[in-house]
Amino acid sequence: MTELTRRVLFSVVAAPLAGLVHAHYLGLFTPSIAAEAVIFLALVASVIWVRGVEGKPFVAVSVTVFGVLYASMITFVYPLRYHDYAVGAGAGTALVMFPVFLVWATDTGAYTFGRLFGKKKLMPSVSPGKTVVGAIGGLFVAIAICWLYSKAVLEPAAHLALSPIGVVVFGAAISIAAQTGDLLESLLKRDAGVKDSSSLVPGHGGILDRIDSQLFALPVAYLIVGYLLIPIPS
């Protein structure tokens, strides 16, 4: 399968998936569990003719389903944007960018502390460049930026706040999720025997390397942010 074919197939799957998520939050359409089950069974059944016995059909199905579910984690920007606490476009944007900024803070902190003080490797068999000190540094930088973002952006733009405990919990959770997502993507490339996930972003390991941490951080953010946010009077 050529690179162009892979991109076309991914677009065919990913575009309708993002559209379904958006339609759900607009109240236009919500697929039933039965419909989702039938789609999954149709996918499994299709390998009988497409792959056959020699084509490792169930490995192909597993990889396809994992790939779709893994990439679809990016659609959690929608429930964050339309969160019940996010009143207005500005508030929704501020809430979406919250975990995004924490991921960037984690990456920057991990790289800086790792280069300056890192000696012991975090998981050399998966990602030789990552260190324990870097991981801890990224965690603390994320918590610091979490507090700063809450005060400088979230409160004035969205009229939402976090308690001191909420800052620590949210910042730490997003940082750990981001670093786990980064490690998983490195593991996927090693398992596939490739250096870069694609050629779309030359010199950066591919497009997946740019969003791997977000794929973990966005669902975690949506899961816990509702328990931590404190509405404040406008």
SS3 sequence of 200-232:
CCCCCCCHHHHHHHHHHHHHHHHHHHHHHEEEC
Rounded to whole angstroms, the Cα distance separating 130 from 123 reads 7
Rounded to whole angstroms, the Cα distance separating 101 from 196 reads 24
Query: Are 114 and 205 in the same domain?
Result: yes
Picking from 188, 177, 182, 184, the residue whose alpha carbon sits closest to that of residue 216 is: 177
Query: Are 69 and 94 in the same domain?
Result: no
CA 73 from centroid of its chain's CA atoms: 6
Which residue, 55, 81, 107, sits at the end of a domain? 81
* Most distant CA pair in the chain, distance: 64
Query: Are 3 and 33 in the same domain?
Result: yes
Query: Are 94 and 77 in the same domain?
Result: no
Which residue, 37, 64, 81, sits at the end of a domain? 81
User: Number of folded domains in the chain?
Assistant: 2
Q: Residues in the chain with pLDDT < 70?
A: 1-22, 24-26, 31, 194-206, 234
> How high is the pLDDT of residue 168?
97
Query: Are 176 and 228 in the same domain?
Result: yes
> How high is the pLDDT of residue 8?
47
> How high is the pLDDT of residue 18?
61
Which residue, 63, 81, 99, sits at the end of a domain? 81
Query: For all residues of the chain together, what is the average pLDDT?
Result: 83
Query: Are 61 and 121 in the same domain?
Result: no
Q: Residue 97, Cβ neighbours under 10 Å: how many?
A: 17
* Residue 139: domain span: 84-234
Rounded to whole angstroms, the Cα distance separating 181 from 173 reads 12
Query: Are 99 and 77 in the same domain?
Result: no
Query: Are 45 and 67 in the same domain?
Result: yes
Residue 145: partners with Cβ closer than 8 Å, 6 or more residues away: 101, 102, 105, 171
Query: Are 48 and 153 in the same domain?
Result: no
Query: Are 18 and 90 in the same domain?
Result: no
Query: Are 104 and 184 in the same domain?
Result: yes
**Which stretches does DSSP call E strand in the chain?**
121-123, 127-131, 160-162, 229-231
C-alpha dist (Å) from residue 42 to 10, 24, 53 = 18, 23, 17
Query: Are 46 and 155 in the same domain?
Result: no
Residue given tokens 């997003």 in the structure block: 174
> How high is the pLDDT of residue 1?
45
Rounded to whole angstroms, the Cα distance separating 87 from 90 reads 8
> How high is the pLDDT of residue 19?
65
